Amino acid sequence: MRRQLKILEYTLSSLLRRKYKSFSLIAVYAFTIAVLGSVLFLTQSLKSEATGSLVSAPEIVVQRVSAGRHDLVPIGYAEVISKFPGVKSVTPRVWGYYYDSLVKANLTLIGIGEYQEQLELLDGRLPIKPDECAIGMGIVNVFGPGKGDALVLENSASTSKTFKITGVFRAASNLLTNDLVVLPEAALRQFFAMDSTLATDLVVEVYNQREIKTLAKKIKYHLSDTRPITRDEILHTYETLFNWRSGMMLAVAVAALIAFCILAWDKATGITAEEKREIGVLKALGWETADVLTIKFWEGLVISLTSFLLGVIAAWIHVFVFSAPALTPLLKGWSVLFPAFQLSPVVDFYQLFVLAFLTIGPYLACTLIPAWKTATTDPEQVMRD
Amino acid sequence: MVKSTLYLICSGILILSLSMLLLFSHFSQATGDTENLAGKRQLVSYLGLTDLSLCSEARYTRHPSQADLFSAFQDFPGSFEHFPTGSMISPSPAGFFSRVRVSSQSGSE
């Protein structure tokens, strides 16, 4: 133990002799890990947010596909599906998009039925009358209306329709409701000029959760132009959206990993003349190859462990304290209505372990291999070189 | 032994800080931010929401679980990707069962 402490003392003195190089190496290394860690934390947290909330998503959504594209579904399909054994209810839904060309924002308009429920995350109440609506916080932030104000939207006939805002969804629900405009279904149907025999899609509720998959197959079999999407598939979409192979990971993490590889490659292929001389002197003084390797091991560990700890802490603060300002532009793209969200800290220990393994391990190897090559060479030869 | 002691103390502080952050994350995950989670689930259930309101620039990024496969190309297959978030969020193939089959001249598939 005392021997190891002395070796560590020597290693730290050696690193401090090249303090500018050592500190800049730690800074670059920590930055790379912070980038990788931020992506890990952000994707894991978004995945957890999605799967946590969407467990109460519709059990089956039935769309109609025409010419390979999503099309309006005839309400008659609801009657066919409701006759299948095990189906509790089939509800036709009306929803769609509204584009504001001035601000260039896309709104999602959703119609609700007559049944009213007091929502915990709604400040105010849901619309009851045809000229009322409830809106998400993103619309408040971009367009500026509040509860009691009027929202004027242009329908497909270019006629302005005024809706009184009766409720605003609270900021805590931003990740779900940011761009929503909730209207009574009849009013939305009229706004979209949608035929009363058609709906955007159908929501199917079943008695037995284990029958969802079978019912989805049955719907597809009997109504071949439909596309049933089960709740598991919705959750699976979000599971895969933010996994290792997701676009987010590919775009950011691969770039950071390549930067790390360049750093490690540079370290592996080149040991400086000063370091070679130092090893030569130590060997000439009677140090064993094993002692030199122990020093180099400590050197690699000091740099990689310090960088890893600093990088992961910086990533945690970046994502969970400052809401990932460096990564959200990637998700935002051209979206005007982008939710301001505060993510709950969620960390996948397995992914963190993989990150540690992928960064600390190769760096240690890259420090030890060239040092071992030099340490096994004759000290006189090393110093002459 | 001053430097090594100092280094070990600093590393200890960093490890302790990281452990505390991870423990905080673990407990926050375990308790699940229950108050808001119940509210969010109520919202999802009542409004029948299927997706996160994360990227609103295109149909397939606003509703990745509901978008049809052609919407990634907007107008026709093979056209260039229009939207930056399209590189982050790909359309989900859930619910599509159609396949391309090739039939040989002898008639077997």
Q: Are residues A255 and A116 in the same domain?
A: no
Instruction: Give the domain-ending residue among A196, A218, A234.
Output: A234
Query: Is residue A275 pLDDT above 70, yes or no?
Result: yes
Of the residues A201, A234, A267, the one at which a domain ends? A234
Q: What is the pLDDT along chain B (109 residues), one digit of tens a residue?
A: 688 888 899 999 999 999 998 888 887 766 655 568 888 999 999 999 999 988 888 888 888 888 876 655 455 555 566 677 777 776 666 777 666 767 776 655 4
* Predicted pLDDT at A355: 84
The arithmetic mean of pLDDT across residues A323-333, rounded, is 84
Q: Single out the residue of A336, A379, A354 nearest to residue A100, CA to CA.
A: A336
Q: Quote the minimal CA–CA distance from A237 to chain B in Å.
A: 6
Give which of A213, A239, A216, A186 is closest to A62, Cα–Cα. Answer: A216
Residues A31 and A78 in one domain: no
What's the confidence (pLDDT) of residue A188? 92
Q: Binning pLDDT at 50, 70 and 90, where does residue A72 land? A: very high
CB contact under 8 A, B46 and A173: no
Same domain, B2 and B30: yes
Q: What residues pair up with A91 in beta bridges, in sequence order?
A: A203
Q: Could you write out the DSSP letters of every residue in A93-146?
A: E-EEEEEETTTTEEEEEEEE-S-----TTEEE----STTEEEE-HHHHHHH---
Q: Report yes or no on B26 lying in a domain.
A: yes
Query: Picking from A125-129, A314-318, A352-356, A376-380, which range would have the lowest pLDDT averaged per residue?
Result: A376-380
The pLDDT of residue B98 is 66
**If you ran DSSP here, which 8-state letter would residue B70 be given?**
G
Distance of CA B51 to the CA centre of its chain: 10
Of A343, A339, A341, A344, the C-alpha closest to A178 is A339
Are B8 and B23 found together in one domain? yes
Q: Give the three-class secondary structure for B2.
A: helix
Q: What are the DSSP calls for A147-213, one per residue? A: TTSEEEEE-TTS-EEEEEEEEEE-GGGHHHHTTEEEEEHHHHHHHTT--TTEESEEEEEES-GGGHH
B16 to chain A, any CB pair closer than 8 A? The answer is no
Within 10 Å of residue A369's Cβ, how many Cβ atoms? 15
A254 and A379 share one domain = yes
Q: What percent of the residues of chain B are helix, what percent strand, and what percent coil, each to the nearest 5?
A: 50, 0, 50
Residues A103 and A43 occupy one common structural domain: no
Question: How far does Cα A288 stand from its chain's mean position?
Answer: 50
Chain B residues with beta carbon closer than 8 angstroms to that of A176: 40, 43-44, 49, 52-53
Between positions 41 and 70 of B, the ones with CB within 8 A of A are 41-57, 59, 61-62, 64-70
Q: What is the per-residue pLDDT for B78?
A: 55
Q: Are residues B31 and B8 in the same domain?
A: yes
The answer to whether A173 and B40 have CB atoms below 8 angstroms apart is: yes
Asked if B50's CB is within 8 angstroms of A57's CB, the reply is yes
Tokens found for residue A334 = 């051209």
Q: Do B37 and A136 touch (CB under 8 A)?
A: no
In a domain, B104, yes or no: no
- Shared domain for B43 and B60, answered yes or no, is no
Give CA torsion, residues A293, A299, A300, A303, to 10 deg. Answer: 180
Number of domains within chain A: 2
A45 and A66 share one domain: no
Do A214 and A91 share a structural domain? yes
| Prediction ipTM score | 0.81
Q: How many structural domains is chain B composed of?
A: 2
Residue A255: pLDDT over 80: no
**Segments forming the whole domain that contains residue B1:** 1-47
In a domain, B62, yes or no: yes
**Per-residue pLDDT band at A167 (split at 50, 70, 90):** very high
Q: Give me the pLDDT at residue A314, please.
A: 95
CB of A168 within 8 A of CB of A124? yes
Segment A357-363 mean pLDDT: 83
pLDDT of residue A181: 93
Q: Determine contact, residues A31/B22, Cβ cutoff 8 Å.
A: no
Please state which of the ranges A76-90, A213-227, A273-287, A304-318 shows the lowest mean pLDDT. Answer: A273-287
* Same structural domain, B65 and B25: no
Query: How many whole angstroms from its chain centre is CA A76?
Result: 39
How far is residue A16's CA from residue A29's CA, in Å, rounded to a whole number? 17
Is the domain of A85 the same as that of A215?
yes
Task: Out of B1, B69, B88, name the one closest to residue A331 (CB).
Answer: B88
Are residues B42 and B54 located together in one domain of the fold? no
In angstroms, the CA A334 to CA B55 distance is 8
Distance of CA B108 to the CA centre of its chain: 42
User: In chain B, which residues have their Cβ closer than 8 Å to the Cβ of A227?
Assistant: 68, 95-96
Q: Is 90 exceeded by the pLDDT of residue A102? A: no
Instruction: Give the span between the Cα atoms of A241 and A248, in whole angstroms.
Output: 9
Please work out, in degrees rounded to the nearest 5, the angle formed at the alpha carbon of residue B61 by the alpha carbons of B60 and B64.
60
Lowest mean pLDDT among A44-53, A92-101, A249-258, A331-340: A249-258
Are A126 and A153 contained in the same domain? yes
Answer whether residue B71 is part of any domain.
yes
> Residues A34, A126: one domain?
no
Instruction: Specify the pLDDT at position A207.
Output: 92
Contacts of B44 in chain A (CB under 8 A): 53-54, 56-57, 176
- If you average pLDDT over each of A10-19, A219-228, B71-80, which comes out highest? A219-228
**A–B CB contacts, 8 A cutoff, strictly below:** 242
Q: Is residue A116 within 8 Å of A128, Cβ to Cβ?
A: yes
CA gap B88, A130 in Å, rounded: 38
Structural domain that includes position A198: 58-234
Beta bridge partners of A152: A162
pLDDT at B79: 57
Residues A225 and A318 both lie in one domain: no
Q: Report pLDDT for A156.
A: 78
pLDDT at position A244 is 66
**Prediction pTM value:** 0.84
